[in-house]
Amino acid sequence: MNAFSQEEYLNERQDSLLATLEHLLELPASAVHFMLDQAVQQVQQVLAADLVALFFHDPTTDTLVALHISDTSMGKQQRASGMNRLPLANGGSAVEVFLSGVPFLTGHADQIPNEPRGIIAGLGIKSQLDVVFRVQTRHRGVVLAASATPDFFTENDLHFLEAIARWVGHVVGRSELVEQIKQQDVEQDQKRTTEELLTIMTHELRNFLQPLRGRLDLILERAKREGREKDIRDAESSLHTLNLLARGISDVVDIARLNQGMFAVHPVPMNLKEVVQDVVKTFATRSVPLTLRFPQDLIVTADPLRVRQAFETMLLYAVYASPKAAEISVDVSIERRTDGPWVLLGVKSVGSAKPGISESQLRAFVASSHSTQLGVQLYLTNQIALAHDGIFTIDSATNHACVLTLAFPIEEEELIVRGEDELHVMM
């Protein structure tokens, strides 16, 4: 070949490499497998190689697996001989390129020590190009081009294969991103369906309970007006059971929401004193002396239904853990901490704790949803605290059967505190 024809040949080759790259960029992005198959066929043709293979690293077996192979006799032979799977442990140039990321070119593969025998003797490879492809910065596989002719490939061919490897990395990365988004969409749809089912189920169950609750309240009121003691007791007992059932339904739904990562609070400005007083009124049928201490008005931003739920649990636990008729005190206060004001809702019961429940058991209740109903409610109280960026603690102190505190931060500008009241009631 004279100097002119050599230059002409190189120019023509450069043009065809560029044309191949352009053609690859025009392939539809939706069908990744088709794109990569097309790529290996076109690269094989433009390089006039005997084999082009796209190896992907399979981390489960730590093997390079050729998922796309050129439709050539050496390609068929590669599949038939099992050389489409290269365990990293066996070494060889393709493996070394995958591990190091450094591109490789040889015209005498048969002279490389440690090259797998199947590559040399089996496929008869003499010239070889190996380039790693990356998704972001991670090595994900190797593009290999091979020929049975010695000294077949040039440095330009290697640069071309490097461009191809970068393109493969982009294609694979984009495809994985699309898959990830699709998967996220599926998960979002599943969550939405679950949330809808939970909402409908809760709605239906609470709607069934509402007329029952109303009728029982009416029976109780009439019995009180007419002084029918037995009916009062029966109505109170039925209402108590109904309340437990309503709490049970709410707890089951809340646990389901927590398990699905859908547990949420709906904070609005609320008067904490009103919530505390309302809850205390609902406990008014029990003969437990209760002292309330709170500011006359305390407006904070929180979810009133969830705070109410937490406070009910705290009172239920205080009654459960304390000796009969032990005095219970409720304190609502503001504490200035380094990160701003916190509201503290504390429930204390006087006397020694009932035997049978240890502090470690109690902490296990708070940490896990797998326990008795009161345990589940303590667990939910802790979740309510966390959802308000706060904490829920249970401690024992001298002369107290239990000390429960729900504390959460509040915004200074939303905080309204006026005066202080002390109230003694019988729960």
Residues that bind another protein in the complex, under the rule CB under 8 A = 199, 202-207, 209-215, 217-218, 221-222, 242, 246, 264, 266, 268, 278, 281-282, 303-305
Smaller CB separation from another protein, 20 or 309: 309
Q: Among 70, 63, 68, which Cα is nearest to 85's?
A: 63
Min dist CB 375 to another protein, Å, is 22
Structure tokens at 222: 């009439």
Structure tokens at 256: 């389901």
Q: Among 142, 153, 147, 119, which Cα is nearest to 50's?
A: 147
Min dist CB 167 to another protein, Å, is 49
For 206-221, give one letter per residue: b (16+ CB within 10 A) or e: eeeeeeebeebeebbe
Smaller CB separation from another protein, 207 or 372: 207
Min dist CB 218 to another protein, Å, is 6
Helix (H, G, I), strand (E, B) or coil at 397: strand
Min dist CB 18 to another protein, Å, is 59
Min dist CB 217 to another protein, Å, is 3
Min dist CB 388 to another protein, Å, is 14
d(CA 377, CA 384): 10
Smaller CB separation from another protein, 134 or 206: 206
Min dist CB 285 to another protein, Å, is 11
Smaller CB separation from another protein, 184 or 259: 259
Smaller CB separation from another protein, 213 or 293: 213
Q: Do residues 257 and 392 make contact, with C-beta atoms less than 8 angstroms apart?
A: no
Residue whose pair of structure tokens reads 């205080």 in the numeric block: 318
Q: Could you tell me the maximum CA-CA distance found in the chain, to the nearest angstrom?
A: 122
Who's near 97: CB < 8 A, 6+ residues apart? 103, 104, 130, 131, 132, 142
For 167-177, give one letter per residue: b (16+ CB within 10 A) or e: bbbebbbebee
Min dist CB 383 to another protein, Å, is 13
Q: Do residues 65 and 58 make contact, with C-beta atoms less than 8 angstroms apart?
A: yes
Smaller CB separation from another protein, 48 or 264: 264
Smaller CB separation from another protein, 144 or 315: 315
Q: Where are the alpha helices (DSSP H) in 27-131?
A: 32-47, 73-81, 93-100, 117
Beta strands in 121-219 (DSSP E): 127-135, 138-147
The Cβ of residue 192 has, within 10 Å, a number of other Cβ atoms equal to 11
Min dist CB 88 to another protein, Å, is 53
d(CA 380, CA 374): 10
Q: Among 112, 178, 107, which Cα is nearest to 148's?
A: 107
Q: Among 305, 246, 245, 243, which Cα is nearest to 274's?
A: 305
Smaller CB separation from another protein, 8 or 414: 414
Min dist CB 422 to another protein, Å, is 22
Smaller CB separation from another protein, 149 or 202: 202
Structure tokens at 281: 């009124």
Smaller CB separation from another protein, 7 or 217: 217
